[in-house]
Amino acid sequence: MALSIHTNYSALVTNTALNKSNNALATNQQRLGTGLRINSAADDAAGLQIATRLNAQSRGMGVAMRNTSDAVSMLQTAEGAFSELTDIVQRMKDLATQAANDTNGADDRTALQGEFDALADELANIFDKTKYAGELLFADTDGKFTDDVSIQIGADSTEVMVINVATNLSTLSAEVTDGGTLSALTLDDAANSATAIAALDTALKNIGTVRAEFGANINRLNHTSNNLANMKDNTEMAKGRIMDADFAMESANMSKNSMLMQSGISMLKQAGQMPGMVMGLLG
């Protein structure tokens, strides 16, 4: 290679290699500092686009899991209220069965009627006042379950679960609310008590039907939540394989590029001395 004062080829080549090593070292340090392999679109444009989509899906599923948990809590509140309704109606039936027996006198039936009426009032109170997060659940005009209840159970807009117990709830409302069938029952004689027993049997059946619907939806939501957790975990893993830095590899590359930097600086110093050799030719 010719000796020249104006153009130092060795220094130019060494400087170019030094700049490459410096850029690679900076990338290694950035990845080790952030823990991410992709810190900008320039690092991996296609990978960033895929990872962004996976992240959106994962976050959506995380929110959907909270939605299902909230829905389960609401349904458990409703089912708990109906469990209490069941206990009350069972007690009312016991009273009606006792009143149907002619061993009871007028005073006995009056006492039975007093407890019976108090329980009927509590039926109406539970049905009309049960709330979740400040929202009425069963009341005729404002109840959450008097219409379809939509639960967002996925990251996509189409992933919606609809809970519909309005029809059966309406039937039950006509029985247990104030002024309904049960509140009008009397235990003043055996015949009326027998009528009350039949009406209470029907009410128990209707309560059981609504409770079954709540229970079925609770079970479905629990399975939905489990599936969402599985999908979210695997989506996070897929995103991590794209976005996360491999610390072992990046540490090894940083050591390599750091050594290349030191070597390049040393060689650049040596290459800078080559034009001085010209002076040796000039004597």
The Cα 10–Cα 19 span in angstroms is 14
Cα separation of the two ends of the chain: 20
pLDDT at 275: 67
The Cα 24–Cα 45 span in angstroms is 18
| Max Cα-Cα span within the chain | 142
The Cα 72–Cα 58 span in angstroms is 21
Element (H, E) at 172: helix 166-176
pLDDT at 278: 65
Angle, vertex CA 116, rays to CA 115 and CA 120, nearest 5: 115
Structure tokens at 36: 């991410």
Q: What is the pTM of this model?
A: 0.81
Any idea what DSSP says for residue 150? E
Neighbours of 226 (CB within 10 A): 12
pLDDT at 129: 94
pLDDT at 22: 81
pLDDT at 216: 96
Asked if residue 228 lies in contact with residue 61, where contact means CB atoms within 8 angstroms, the answer is yes
The Cα 266–Cα 11 span in angstroms is 11
Write the single-letter amino acid at 145. F
pLDDT at 145: 94
In this prediction, the residues of the chain whose per-residue pLDDT falls under 50 are none
